[in-house]
Amino acid sequence: MIKIKAFFKSNLGKISAVLLVVAIYLLVPAVKVNVNQAIFILQNVDVDLARQYILGFGVWAPVVSFLLMMLQSLFAPLPAFIITFANAALFGWVKGAILSWSSAMAGAALCFFLAKYLGRDFVEKLSSKSAVQMIDDFFKNYGKYAILIARLLPFISFDIVSYAAGLTSMRFWPFFIATGIGQLPATIIYSYIGSMLTGTARTFVMGLLILFAVSTLVFLLKKVWNDKAKNPKKKKEENIIERT
């Protein structure tokens, strides 16, 4: 009982913040409807639907797009590149890229601090235990490179990596800088493609994304192979040193 009281006392601010967000979602119908609709759009990976949804807010469209990216960052399985494509189609690829990059950076920071202050159990509830464990192992092997590689892969949720970074001893600014560097090339590419995303171009886009993902995956596998090849040699050298 004493431990429970101590836990609630030390985490009162965190618990209150979470309860406030949940209360707003449950008690404000407009918020609940829009959040559910946004999640539905992202789950269906439909660029046109996302574009129409954002455009429906008129002059508030950039703000809604920013908040949509933040929402996406909370629920790790939801794809971010759909919003990036929609932003480019609505605001042009340059302005769309700036909006997508800045909002994704804010989302990454949010994930990092949520994981840092609310802990592993909270992260696993938003994503999954197996996904977090997989990224943990990936993070241990590649550290900051995991952030760069994951941002380049369109089919790997970078938000899980952001959460995982928050669960480690990594400081915020190194994470934030690596995030910005790793995210920028993909954001520019996706935004430029997104500005041309019409009609039959979709098939070409998906093919390009797959090619981009496979290329990055090949680079990653090559690095894994090289690391494994170096390990036996390293162990052999260590054994020789021990014997001497």
- Backbone φ, ψ for residue 76 (5° rounding): -55, -35
List, for residues 80-97, the tens digit of each pLDDT value: 888 988 999 899 999 999
Which has the closest alpha carbon to 115: 127, 105, 103, 104? 127
- Over residues 98-136, the pLDDT tens digits come to 999 999 999 999 999 988 888 888 888 777 777 778 777
How confident is the model over 156-214, as pLDDT tens digits? 677 888 888 888 888 899 889 888 988 888 888 888 877 776 544 555 555 556 556 66
**Does position 233 have pLDDT exceeding 90, yes or no?**
no
* Element (DSSP H or E) covering residue 9: helix 2-10
Q: What tokens does 184 get?
A: 């920028």
pLDDT value, residue 132: 79
Amino acid at position 45, single letter = V
Cβ 85 vs Cβ 193: under 8 Å? yes
What was the pLDDT predicted at 102? Answer: 96
User: What is the average pLDDT value for the chain, to the nearest integer?
Assistant: 76
Q: Is the pTM of this model over 0.95?
A: no
Smallest CA-to-CA distance from 42 within 15, 10, 71 is with 71
